């Protein structure tokens, strides 16, 4: 098996995982409020917002890692094709 299909499959898998994490984070933050509840009668709202924030904070490191993997894999793809072009032009051996 050649390197190119494996390389593109890995890149696509990282992109799909990253997109899924973005969608998940978006669905979490959909119910997040941008207001502060100062009255004690809104304690249930405070708890609900704190739960949403906790879930988002758990997803953030995984999302950052997925983004890093997409960038790294994109660099690998770019380097592979630049090297291939340079070899076809007989610039490198």
Mean pLDDT by 10 residues, the chain (93 residues): 90 97 92 69 81 92 97 97 94 84
The reported pLDDT for the residue numbered 72 is 97
How far apart, in Å, are the Cα atoms of 26 and each of 13, 34, 35, 71?
A: 20, 15, 18, 21
Domain presence at residue 54? yes
How far apart, in Å, are the Cα atoms of 25 and each of 34, 51, 86?
A: 16, 13, 41
Domain presence at residue 42? no
The reported pLDDT for the residue numbered 43 is 81
Domain presence at residue 40? no
The reported pLDDT for the residue numbered 44 is 80
Gap between the Cα atoms of 70 and 77, Å rounded: 10
Domain presence at residue 78? yes
Token pair of 10, please? 């890995």
**pTM > 0.85:** no
Number of domains in the chain: 1
The reported pLDDT for the residue numbered 49 is 84
Q: What domain range includes position 75?
A: 3-33+49-88
């Amino acid at each position: 098996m050649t390197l190119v299909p494996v390389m593109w499959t890995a890149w696509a898998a990282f992109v799909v995982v990253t997109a899924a994490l973005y969608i998940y984070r978006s669905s979490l933050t959909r119910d997040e409020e941008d207001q502060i509840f100062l009255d004690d009668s809104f304690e249930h709202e405070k708890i609900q917002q704190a739960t949403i924030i906790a879930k988002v904070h758990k997803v953030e490191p995984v999302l950052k890692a997925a983004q890093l993997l997409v960038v790294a894999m994109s660099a690998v793809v770019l380097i592979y094709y630049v090297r291939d072009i340079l070899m076809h032009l007989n610039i490198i051996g």
